[in-house]
Amino acid sequence: MSEYYLFQDTKKCIGCHTCVVACKSYKNLPQGPKISQIITVGPRIVGGLPKAAYTFMPCFHCENPWCVAACPTGAMQKRTPDGIVSVDPELCVGCKTCMSACPWGAPQWNPETGKVVKCDYCMDRIDQGLKPVCVTVCTTQCLNFGRANELPAVRRERYAQAMAALE
Amino acid sequence: MKEEVFSLCFMCSVRCPIQVTTEQGQVRFIEGNPHVAGMEGSLCARGAAGKAFLNDGQRLQTPLIRTGPRGSGEWREASWDEALDYVADRLKDIMAQHGSRSLILGERTQLSTHVSKTFVKALGSPNHFTHDALCKGSVNTACRSLFGYTDAQMGMDYSNTRHLVLYGRNFFEAVEVKQVRAFMKALDKGAKLTYIDPRVTVTATKAHRYWMIRPGTDLALNYALIHVILKEGLYDKEYVERWVLGMAELEAFVEPYTPTWAEEETGIPAEEIVEFAREVSREKPSVIFHFGYRGANHTNEIHLRRSIMILNTLMGSVEAKGGFFFKKGPGEVEAKPARKLTEQSFPEIRDPRFDKVGTPDFPLPDPNHGVAQRLPRAIMDEDPYPFKALIAYRFDPLMSIADTTLTKKALEKLDLVVAIEVNYSDTAWYADVILPESTYLERTDSIQQANGLKPQMFLRRKTVEPRYDTRSGPMILKELGERLGIGEYFPYENMDDLVRWQLEPTGFTLDDFEAKGFVAYTSQQIFWDRKDGLRFKTPSGKIEFVSSLLEDAGFPSFPPYEPVPHPPEHHFRLTTGRVALHTHVSTQNNPYLNELCSENVLWIHTDPAEVLGIQDGAWVDVSSSRGSGRVQARVTELIHPEAVFMLHGFGHEAERAERCHRKGLSDAMLQENVSDEIGGSPALHHTFVTVTPAEEKMA
């Protein structure tokens, strides 16, 4: 994995797609490719209440990325030292091998350029000390980004709050 | 070169503060203004699609003059001088023949509404209206009847609330960024959410309590809640004693409205109503019964909205931490608001308004906004007098007012229809002349006087030069005004001039907005003293359960509850609503938003669908007394069997808006133009429809 961790606090996600739109906008993408995506499951009635899951799917930036191994031209790269996996459009020939190789469907097809596009955690922004655009604009701040061991322990804190019987 | 400009979004009417990064004169990135507490980068999906809107080749690009029949889509491009001369000459003729009053200007409320009001007043016409009544006319009137303030003068302290109660207010889909974030914080601190809606929405999936209420019966639920709260003494006695007028009348009125009675009407079990009343009362005064964002569903709308605010009053939550507050203006700190052009003196106008607001016929709606849905009948019936010209300013009567066929007939009767627009709206498509406005990213706008717990001012700033041959609205109206001999009412040469003129009395300058995009009059939150400092603007100075506003106009404060009829056999109550990806009728053609939500479907409950032989995804014909159309069905148990639902804003007719042209079905085409005749909202859930299986897509 990359050194970074993009954590979605699903409890706060409202499935509003701001991340998806901002991502497309920042990458100037046409209709079609969704570098990041919100997948909604539900709603369904669970225990008498309607429940739904809104799951954020960018790229996992794998430790051993199959897309990189599969790429015949070296366009798909894992950069050092932080491990971000990105595609170099200069080298991409549009063979789609990475799309077949990735178990998560992360590499996307850009019909305008005839090349692959994928989440690169907005490397240009990371290098300026900023966060990926999806995280920056997230409506509820349910998306968190940082070094994997530095992210807040939201779930533990929430659980502790819920369990604490101080009253 | 990279630059950062603070501005205000305008992808919807919330006007969130934004920071726009530009590179070489192009917008690179838009985010929430990082200096504004509660924004800090956050946007909504529509706000994130602002760049796509700016660069869209399918928006208006140049003035257009119609060459074929109305609605034919035959246009010729015109220069600004030619288009403005054309409009001015036609208006001069019309006003010479039929008087200034034959002109109506309707707009979607915006920062420069004071300019359009000035334009109409200076010409001597009483006929300016906004879209507000379509959304919340009755909420406005309800609040004035109780507090003497409009709903717009009240806010909610979401971050400190302990319990938020929403009546169809689809909080997490009709998104206001700051408010959503503030309430998320409250949820994290253990606040509760109760959601009441005939349909399961995203908001329902985040609620602790969800009631699939029988559509239209929220008022019955509230009367039962009040019944329990009074009977069990659950209300804030000190607050009520001090501030309420008409408690005894309320008590007598709700006596018959027991939870058991309400169960029959609403379908909500009586014991759950009692349990909820007790639970919510434990958190008083930090509770919010939300009065609604859109309050325009039924003919008794004003009484539902009043009952909601009566519940808040009983909780003592009006002007309370975690409850409602009155928005404080600069006057609270001995300072002055920005000037408006409407502060100038105008020729006296004696004619009644087109909607008759303020006359004995329709005394109570807010004349600052008027009642938009009265437009078609006023034109058709020439009542109170003939109308000849309409300027539709970023307002689309054809898709926004119920009964499109009637509205279209009314527009046909006019001698001149002008659209000031950013999009190919259906009304623009139908107009004689289109004057294209620059988008919010391409123009500086009038000052936003942001009253609240801390009074502030915000500024929309031009971030890039206009992509196309478009202009800002206040400049268009000024130039039109000059041609019509009222140029002196527009004392500015450009938008910066206008803002400088507005700022003169405030002590702030344009430069003061450079650092953060806003200026604050104070750093302290202002709450009035709940014991002695509440300044209600009612004649009694109290919260008037028995309302002088209503009673003086001849309306009872507590008319007996009228049961909501069940739909006739094989009929459904047509309900409508919003999604996080679109704003009203204006964003359906946005490349990104269209990609994610390109048409609407008809939600229908599984049981009636089975009886009618309708399968999920099948095409169906939906018919009302006003029209019919074809759409795909979503068969689901997540909607009350008496209701069907469709998203508002689809079924566009304007051909040049290619992505959304004829995608989905328009709710306005099916809805009857019926109103709450006291409060002023349309009754958009009043219409019954039939749903029948259809063979295929094409109608």
pLDDT value for A166? 65
Strand partners, B245: B544
Classify residue B617 as left (phi > 0), alpha (psi -120 to 50) or beta: left
**Within 13 Å, how many C-alpha atoms sit on residue B132's CB side?**
21
Instruction: Please report, for residues A34, B155, B280, B288, B652, the alpha-carbon distance to residue B317 in angstroms, rounded to integers and kept in the order given.
Output: 45, 12, 12, 7, 42
Residue with tokens 């009441």: B196
Q: Contact at 8 Å (CB) between B354 and B387?
A: yes
For B631, residues 6+ apart whose C-beta sits below 8 A from its C-beta are: B599, B600, B601, B602, B619, B620, B622, B646, B664, B665
Sign of the dihedral defined by the CA atoms of residues B596, B602, B603, B605, in that order:
negative
Picking from A81, A136, A92, the residue whose alpha carbon sits closest to that of residue A116 is A92
Q: What size, in residues, is chain A?
A: 167
**Chain A residues lying within 8 Å of B51, measured CB to CB:** 25
Cβ-based contacts under 8 A for chains A and B: 106
Count of C-beta atoms within a 10 Å radius of residue A80: 7
Q: What size, in residues, is chain B?
A: 699
- Indicate yes or no: CB of A14 within 8 angstroms of CB of B180: yes
Classify residue B40 as left (phi > 0), alpha (psi -120 to 50) or beta: left
Asked whether the predicted pLDDT for residue A167 surpasses 70, the reply is no
- Indicate yes or no: CB of A21 within 8 angstroms of CB of B188: no
For B242, residues 6+ apart whose C-beta sits below 8 A from its C-beta are: B531
Helical packing angle, B80-98 and B473-483, nearest 10°: 60
Alpha-helical regions (H) of B544-642: 548-552, 591-596, 606-612
- Indicate yes or no: CB of A137 within 8 angstroms of CB of B43: yes
- Indicate yes or no: CB of A14 within 8 angstroms of CB of B52: no
- Indicate yes or no: CB of B592 within 8 angstroms of CB of A141: no
Q: Contact at 8 Å (CB) between B218 and B257?
A: no
Mean pLDDT of chain A: 94
- Which residues of A lie closer than 8 Å to B, measured between beta carbons? 12, 14-18, 20-22, 24-26, 30-32, 42-43, 45, 49-52, 133, 136-141, 158, 161-162
Distance in angstroms (rounded) separating the CA atoms of residues A34 and A109: 9
Indicate the residue type of B363: P
| Exposed e or buried b per residue across B655-671, where buried means at least 16 C-beta atoms within 10 angstroms of its C-beta | ebbebbbbbbbbbbbbb
Residue with tokens 């709308």: B301
Strand, helix or coil for residue B621: strand
pLDDT value for B109? 96
pLDDT value for B1? 79
pLDDT value for B239? 98
**pTM over 0.90, yes/no:** yes
**Within 13 Å, how many C-alpha atoms sit on residue A60's CB side?**
11
Strand, helix or coil for residue B212: coil
| Partner residue facing B48 (CB), from A22, A45, A158 | A22
pLDDT value for B698? 60
H or E, element range at B93: helix B80-98
Helical packing angle, B270-282 and B218-231, nearest 10°: 60
Segment B186-227, tens digit of pLDDT: 999 999 999 999 999 999 999 999 999 999 999 999 999 999
Asked whether the predicted pLDDT for residue A1 surpasses 80, the reply is no
- Indicate yes or no: CB of A21 within 8 angstroms of CB of B181: no
Q: Which residue of A has its CA nearest to B659?
A: A31
Q: Which residue of A has its CA nearest to B22?
A: A26
H or E, element range at B364: none
Q: What are the residue ranges in chain B where pLDDT is below 70?
A: 698-699
Indicate the residue type of B395: F
Indicate the residue type of A136: T
Q: Contact at 8 Å (CB) between B26 and B19?
A: no
Q: Which two tokens stand for residue A12?
A: 């706060």
Indicate the residue type of A60: F
**What is residue A85's DSSP assignment?**
E
Strand, helix or coil for residue B452: strand
Q: Contact at 8 Å (CB) between B510 and B312?
A: no
Strand partners, B7: B18
Q: Is beta strand B2-8 parallel, antiparallel or unpaired with respect to B17-23?
A: antiparallel
Task: Quote ipTM for the complex.
Answer: 0.97
- Indicate yes or no: CB of B41 within 8 angstroms of CB of A21: no
**What is residue B19's DSSP assignment?**
E
* pLDDT interval class at A50 (50, 70, 90): very high
Residue with tokens 């001069």: B92
| Partner residue facing B596 (CB), from A20, A49, A51 | A20
Distance in angstroms (rounded) separating the CA atoms of residues B274 and B319: 26
**Chain A residues lying within 8 Å of B181, measured CB to CB:** 139-141
Q: Which 3-state string (H, E, C) describes B324-354?
A: EEECECHHHHCCCCCCCHHHCCCCCCCCCCC
Distance in angstroms (rounded) separating the CA atoms of residues B59 and B423: 5
Picking from B193, B646, B13, the residue whose alpha carbon sits closest to that of residue A50 is B193
H or E, element range at B129: strand B128-130
* Residue A70 to chain B, least CA–CA distance (Å): 30
Picking from B475, B130, B16, the residue whose alpha carbon sits closest to that of residue B30 is B16
Instruction: Please report, for residues B365, B498, B545, B625, the alpha-carbon distance to residue B549 in angstroms, rounded to integers and kept in the order given.
Output: 11, 37, 11, 35
- Indicate yes or no: CB of A14 within 8 angstroms of CB of B206: yes
Instruction: Please report, for residues B540, B598, B600, the alpha-carbon distance to residue B663 in angstroms, rounded to integers and kept in the order given.
Output: 52, 7, 8
pLDDT value for B695? 84
Angle B592-B596-B601 (CA atoms, 0-180°, nearest 5)? 135
For B499, residues 6+ apart whose C-beta sits below 8 A from its C-beta are: B444, B446, B447, B459, B510
Q: Which two tokens stand for residue A16?
A: 């509003």
Distance in angstroms (rounded) separating the CA atoms of residues B209 and B195: 6
**What is residue B293's DSSP assignment?**
S
Segment B410-425, tens digit of pLDDT: 999 999 999 999 999 9
**Chain A residues lying within 8 Å of B187, measured CB to CB:** 12
Strand partners, A49: A46
Strand, helix or coil for residue B272: helix
Q: Is the peptide bond before B505 cis (omega within 30 degrees of 0)?
A: no
**Chain B residues lying within 8 Å of A136, measured CB to CB:** 31, 41
Angle B609-B168-A18 (CA atoms, 0-180°, nearest 5)? 95
The backbone torsions φ and ψ at residue B137, rounded to the nearest 5 degrees and listed phi first, read -50, -45
**Chain A residues lying within 8 Å of B206, measured CB to CB:** 14
**Chain B residues lying within 8 Å of A31, measured CB to CB:** 591, 595
